[in-house]
Structure 1
Amino acid sequence: MDGIVSADNFANIMGVSKAVLQKWENSGTFVPKKDGNGRKFFYVKDLLHVPEIREMVDSSWEQEMEVLPLRPYTSIELFAGAGGLALGMEKAGFSHVLLNEIDHDACATLQYNRPEWRVAEQDVRQISFKQFEGKVDFLSGGFPCQAFSYAGKQGGFNDTRGTLFFELARAVQEIKPKVFMGENVKGLAAHDGGRTLDTIKNAVKELGYTLVEPRVLRAIQFRVPQKRERLILIAIRNDLADKVQFYWPSPFHRVMTLRDAFYKGDLYDCDVPASDGQKYPLKKLKVMEMVPMGGYWRDLPIDVQREYMGGSFELEGGKTGMARRLSLDEPSLTLTCAPAQKQTERCHPIETRPLTVREYARIQTFPDEWMFSGTLSSQYKQIGNAVPVNLAYAVGRSLVRLLNDIERL
């Protein structure tokens, strides 16, 4: 890890807001230094007692990069989207037998970039997986988080009926892979007071699998220049579970920023290529021009704030996504399905415009040669919904290590 970490990126590593960081400073818990320009930072050596920092300093990242599969492990992925998870898993050493996705443009993206992949463009509910029974090592799916109903008393397999998690569970039941993984938004862990996750846990148990304690992974810890968080669920078939152990991936030594995403450096070997992007209407352009790098609507003149925010000006809450300009020295906020929506603004750090498609893709760590099909809006949506490739790659290496241990049994 570098010798210093900016105060903003320390907050990102800790998963807290800048307001919390300020409270820590006021209370003397963590007091940053200031450089010649007034920017706050910490010396890493002064933070070694913080577990999150110590973990980055002592990381086994390099050793884990060398993990290779003992043989090509086969996998099936449901809800594959534009291929972020599939691409990361492929890099880790998985061989995809089937990818399922219902969105036409996302399927076209997958087929264009990987003509050799077998892509099933259809509703998962219409697919039988019985032909793959006992023939596939790994199954994964970023199932959309639909509302779960609790008709039954047990909160198990049958209680997930009508949700897309149930389709992932049905695929597990039919394929019986050695290991399966589900990934979802961080909010799933707390959804309905934790009852949704309990329902999923009970369903996993009924399927004959042992669930590794779920964990929320922060993408910024795995060479992704974005503050995206994903809940990862990994389950091992019961006949194997007590003989092996899953190890979560170690974090990278530093936080990647938009500077890393957009310019030649450690993350990419050239500057971001030119590409299409949305434009601001003139009225909005004039407002956004007044927002400093890293700033948002509260940095506007008060009269402009009132006009731009309208009725929400008087409402409580930070509304920090509104009129938001990103900073080159920090990771991006979590990308959404559109870069210019008023509630979730993602303005370029130094140019007054929404992020382009290729900038979006780099923030998700897609390679520049990975092309997206469909309209501009569809491309943004596909990228915004993706699992960051480098996060998938890190988890994929941990899964390969697990399957190697199973292979040696």
Structure 2
Amino acid sequence: MKFFDMFAGIGGFRSGLEAIGGFECVGYCEIDKYAKQAYEAMYDTGGELYFEDARKIIPEQLPHIDLITGGFPCQSFSIAGQRKGFEDTRGTLFFEIARIASVKRPKYLFLENVPGLLSHNKGRTFKTILSSLDQLGYDVVWQVLNSKNFGVPQSRKRLYLIGFHREKCAGQVLSFTQTNSKTTVQRYPGKEGDRIYSSEGTSITLTSNAGGFGGRTGLYSIEELGLPINVNTKDGYQIAYPGDSIDTAYLGQNSRRGRVGNQVAHTLTTSQTQAYYFIDMNPDPKMTEIARCITARHASDISNRKGEHSAVFIEDYNLTDDEEHPLVVFVDKEKKIHIGRIRKLTPRECWRLQGFTDEQFDKVLATGMSDSQLYKQAGNAVTVNVISEIGKIIKQVNENSKAE
């Protein structure tokens, strides 16, 4: 299925669709030079059309496309912004998608924006979008989804829309009712290295500090549902790929061989002496098991908005104190006292929280991109995992329409 990647950013749509197979990008559009720099470092764009400005695209020059993807600019509709909507030139860029769709008439549209789009101007803005797509022949389904329910420990609510051209295919209701927002679920207690976690919920990252997978953190019942693993070694992150054979415990009994699942966990690391939590970097901070939404402003450290930026709180009862890494005493909502240190999320961790791989991050890092831009590009991206799951729906609908 050939698709055109509008407002491409660093390619969250592309990564998500290519991960499930059956999708081929034929062109992309991105005006931010740093996002373009990252995009071209991550993907093989040879032979593809590139457009800097969506307003200058001539639809007739595009090849055949089955799908248009686009996270059209959301600042105009965000609750955090002034919500100017279509009065802002960024808000009118939705109509560039409609303009191209009116000529190319792809079978599908796959769009993303902030939930604030639904309520902007008392719903009139969203009504205008739906009316425009209806006039072009598209039936539209939409749903607000949270990234934390799709395998990344980040609370990120976004609005996703799929348009089905009614003359070319039958649509399908977009409904995710089985999403799972759990963190770790301990099935069998015990000391570190012996305890077993269920593969339900979001996995923690395992370390190899004890000489093997999970030696210092606990083990997972991998044979239960197929658990992905990302391992931190002294040389960097090592990914256990699907089909790799590893040692694991099974139901608390003897050690035996297991197989790695089909996806990769991108989470923070744990170690023998430290426990990790997310903690707000703003007034009235709260400790959370899931990171706050990654924003383009994450490089600014302390935020004035409550519940906006997450840092990492490292529980550490080694009472040595210094100016560079001062100890912090934190009392949680259950009146428990935590002593430790706070550090900022790294750019790499922010990219992981959006579902990108370390290999992709390293390709962009090698271009010399600054940390501030790495933070910004992660904050502006769409979550890869969510795109993959919705892409599976589009793929299935397309297969069904071919069969019919």
1:217 counterpart = 2:134: no
Match among 120, 123, 130 for residue 60 of structure 2:
130
1:233 counterpart = 2:131: no
Query: Which structure is higher in RCO with an 8 Å CA cutoff and minimum separation 6?
Result: 1
Task: Give the corresponding residue for 1:392.
Answer: 387
Change (3 A) 1:396 1:79: same
- Give how far 1:129 is off: 2.2
Task: Please give the residue correspondences for 1:253-292 in structure 2 after superposition, counting only pairs within 5 Å.
Answer: 253=180, 255-256=182-183, 260=203, 262-263=205-206, 266-271=227-232
Match among 278, 282, 297 for residue 338 of structure 1:
297
CA distance in 2, matches of 1:231, 1:209: 18
CA distance in 2, matches of 1:113, 1:353: 28
Task: Give the corresponding residue for 2:378.
Answer: 383
- Give how far 1:249 is off: 4.7
CA-to-aligned-CA distance 1:364-401 (integer Å, 9 cap, x gap): 11111012352111110001111111111111111111
CA distance in 2, matches of 1:294, 1:244: 40
- Give how far 1:98 is off: 1.0
Q: Secondary structure at the match of 1:369?
A: helix
Q: Determine if contact 1:91/1:393 at 8 Å carries over to the other structure.
A: yes
Which runs of 5 or more residues in structure 2 are unaligned?
77-83, 185-200, 208-219, 221-226, 238-275, 315-340
CA distance in 1, matches of 2:40, 2:286: 35
With normalisation by structure 2, the TM-score equals 0.64
Change (3 A) 1:210 1:234: same
- Give how far 1:359 is off: 0.9
- Give how far 1:199 is off: 0.7
Which runs of 5 or more residues in structure 1 are unaligned?
1-72, 151-158, 276-291, 298-320
Q: Determine if contact 1:137/1:178 at 8 Å carries over to the other structure.
A: yes
Match among 27, 52, 57 for residue 98 of structure 1:
27
Q: Determine if contact 1:99/1:119 at 8 Å carries over to the other structure.
A: yes
Match among 43, 49, 57 for residue 114 of structure 1:
43
The number of residues matched between the two structures is: 285
Change (3 A) 1:191 1:333: same
Q: Determine if contact 1:169/1:204 at 8 Å carries over to the other structure.
A: yes
Change (3 A) 1:259 1:178: closer
CA distance in 2, matches of 1:259, 1:406: 35
CA distance in 1, matches of 2:91, 2:386: 29
- Give how far 1:338 is off: 3.1
Change (3 A) 1:367 1:295: closer
Change (3 A) 1:247 1:196: closer
Change (3 A) 1:130 1:162: farther
Q: Determine if contact 1:104/1:121 at 8 Å carries over to the other structure.
A: no
Task: Give the corresponding residue for 2:4.
Answer: 76
Task: Give the corresponding residue for 1:190.
Answer: 119
1:366 counterpart = 2:350: no
Task: Please give the residue correspondences for 1:169-188 in structure 2 after superposition, counting only pairs within 5 Å.
Answer: 169-188=98-117
CA distance in 2, matches of 1:269, 1:189: 37
Task: Give the corresponding residue for 1:88.
Answer: 16
Percent of aligned positions that are identical: 31
Q: Determine if contact 1:246/1:398 at 8 Å carries over to the other structure.
A: no
Change (3 A) 1:252 1:365: same
- Give how far 1:267 is off: 4.5
Aligned residue type for 1:378:
Q
Aligned residue type for 1:353:
R
CA distance in 2, matches of 1:137, 1:269: 35
CA distance in 2, matches of 1:136, 1:166: 18
CA distance in 2, matches of 1:95, 1:177: 14
Q: Secondary structure at the match of 2:139?
A: strand
With normalisation by structure 1, the TM-score equals 0.63
CA distance in 2, matches of 1:216, 1:162: 19
Change (3 A) 1:105 1:161: closer
Aligned residue type for 1:355:
L
Match among 245, 255, 269 for residue 172 of structure 2:
245
Change (3 A) 1:256 1:262: same
Change (3 A) 1:356 1:96: same
Change (3 A) 1:357 1:336: same
- Give how far 1:186 is off: 1.0
CA distance in 2, matches of 1:166, 1:407: 29
Change (3 A) 1:363 1:268: farther
CA distance in 2, matches of 1:395, 1:261: 25
Q: Determine if contact 1:224/1:256 at 8 Å carries over to the other structure.
A: no
